[in-house]
């Protein structure tokens, strides 16, 4: 039986792989697990969601599961993922649950947890939750609340205002006079992020802030930047911001319409933090996906990089273990641990804007601090993500590609943590060469374990 939890919670196609029955069991399991302490009070669990059509269904199922086990569900409605992390800790809840599949299309959904400290759950806790879920699925003899012990639910849409106030408080600079285009991806930030920017004095044009349940991430947001790039240039804007569906990350665009990805944002912010003496040990934590240009830029600033495997949770683990306060991924998951316990798209956008304001330079000038090497990613749909590392033919194809690239490039092959994909990435100075190498490796992966 495969593990229920992936790299970012439980995810799958709504009502097929991820069902309301499973959500109910997860609500029960969370309440039973987080309620196991000396307190006689019902465990409080916050629930937030993005704008997917299946969100209310899973919200109702989770509430039912929580209440059946005697918990108190606090339903916040549509709200960014990082808001649940912040509010769970602020209000002393036992846990927070987010219903979202992040950047995935609308027909997918997911359920992920935060502990009472605002951090994502460690693998060991997820394993314990999974064991409870499996037990409930097989034979549910666990505690059921009755009478006055039955669980309750309250609805707190006003919590989004608390999150807006928090995000605004992290900004060290006003944004008066800045013209900003914001793409909300028809997702969880459609209400909060425009309010944040306007409170700080920016002139804001908002794109994709009309969610209808099925248009989340649909050719918009951080995975589809062309609309934002065109709007920034056409309107003569100073900056563009694009969130993903649950707003735990963002990508940006400079005034020339060029993309500012997570690597570039980290470099921009690291430069200002090094100059101000606020970057702990002058160290930025990143993943194996970081561009070669990122490492050269950070070194040129007098900093250093710590490298983890792919996933913001692993970046955070390294940061917490070593006391670092800046880390993130090329995809736009950035963690400013002085402010947040998780990747926070609105906070990331503000910290990048503040770094630009303090520098006195244009976004495009800071964007040029890092020169990105061409990087090509090919996603191969597979029947199984298991066993590819031991496959001799795949290993031989990777080795041949590495020999062809030499010291100025690299190849990274890894399974997706959330989808049935094996990702083939190559990086080096010659785009045409990368295309050939990537395709050769991808063809071998398809032949060995591709979907039939």
- Catalytic residue ranges: 102
All residues at 6 or more sequence positions from 4 whose CB lies less than 8 Å from its CB, including other chains? 10, 126, 130, 133, 134
> Cα-atom radius of gyration of the chain, to the nearest Å?
22
- In terms of Cα–Cα distance, which of 447, 373, 375, 380 is closest to 414? 380
Count the Cβ atoms, other than its own, within 10 Å of residue 351: 26
Token duo for residue 145: 């609340």
Secondary structure of residue 39 in the 3-state scheme: coil
Parallel, antiparallel or unpaired: strands 72-78 and 108-115: unpaired
Tokens 């940061």 -> residue: 319
CA distance 186 to 6: 25
Q: Is 305 helix (H, G, I), strand (E, B) or coil?
A: strand
- DSSP H or E stretch at residue 371: none
Distance CA 207, CA 396 (A): 46
């Amino acid at each position: 039986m495969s593990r229920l939890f992936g790299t970012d919670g439980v995810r799958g196609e709504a009502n097929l792989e991820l069902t309301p029955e499973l959500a109910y069991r997860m609500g029960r399991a969370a309440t039973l697990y987080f309620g196991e302490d000396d307190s006689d009070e019902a465990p409080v669990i916050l629930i937030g969601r993005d704008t997917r059509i299946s969100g209310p269904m899973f919200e109702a199922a989770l509430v039912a599961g929580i209440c059946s086990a005697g918990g108190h569900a606090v339903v916040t409605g549509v709200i960014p993922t990082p808001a649940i992390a912040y509010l769970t800790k602020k209000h002393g809840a036992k846990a927070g649950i987010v219903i979202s599949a992040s950047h995935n299309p609308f027909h997918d959904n997911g359920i992920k947890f935060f502990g009472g400290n605002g951090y994502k759950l460690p693998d060991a806790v997820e394993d314990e939750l999974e064991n409870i879920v499996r037990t409930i699925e097989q034979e549910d003899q666990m505690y059921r609340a009755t009478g006055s012990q039955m669980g309750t639910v309250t609805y707190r849409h006003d919590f989004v205002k608390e999150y807006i106030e928090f995000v605004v408080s992290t900004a060290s600079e006003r944004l008066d006079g800045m013209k900003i285009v914001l793409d909300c991806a028809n997702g969880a930030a459609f209400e909060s992020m425009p309010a944040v920017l306007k409170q700080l004095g920016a002139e804001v044009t908002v794109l994709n802030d009309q969610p209808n349940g099925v248009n989340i991430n649909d050719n918009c947001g951080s995975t589809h930047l062309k609309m934002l790039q065109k709007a920034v240039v056409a309107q003569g804007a100073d900056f563009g911001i694009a969130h993903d569906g649950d707003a735990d990350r963002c990508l940006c665009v400079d005034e020339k319409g060029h993309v500012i990805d997570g690597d570039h944002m980290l470099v921009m912010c690291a430069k200002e933090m090094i100059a101000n003496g606020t970057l702990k040990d002058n160290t930025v934590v990143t993943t194996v996906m970081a561009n070669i240009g990122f490492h050269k830029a950070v070194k040129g600033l007098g900093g250093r990089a710590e490298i983890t495997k792919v996933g913001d949770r692993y970046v955070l683990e390294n940061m917490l273990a070593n006391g670092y306060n800046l880390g993130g991924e090329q995809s736009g998951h950035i963690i400013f641990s002085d402010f947040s316990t998780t990747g926070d798209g609105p906070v990331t956008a503000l910290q990048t804007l503040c770094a630009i304001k303090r520098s006195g330079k244009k976004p495009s000038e800071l964007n040029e601090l890092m020169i990105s090497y061409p990087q090509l990613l090919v996603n191969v749909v597979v029947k199984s993500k298991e066993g590819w590392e031991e496959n001799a033919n795949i290993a031989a194809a990777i080795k041949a590609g590495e020999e062809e690239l030499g010291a100025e490039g690299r190849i990274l092959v890894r399974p997706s943590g959330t989808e049935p994909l094996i990702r083939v990435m190559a990086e080096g100075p010659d785009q045409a060469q990368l295309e050939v190498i990537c395709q050769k490796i991808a063809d071998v992966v398809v032949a060995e374990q591709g979907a039939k």
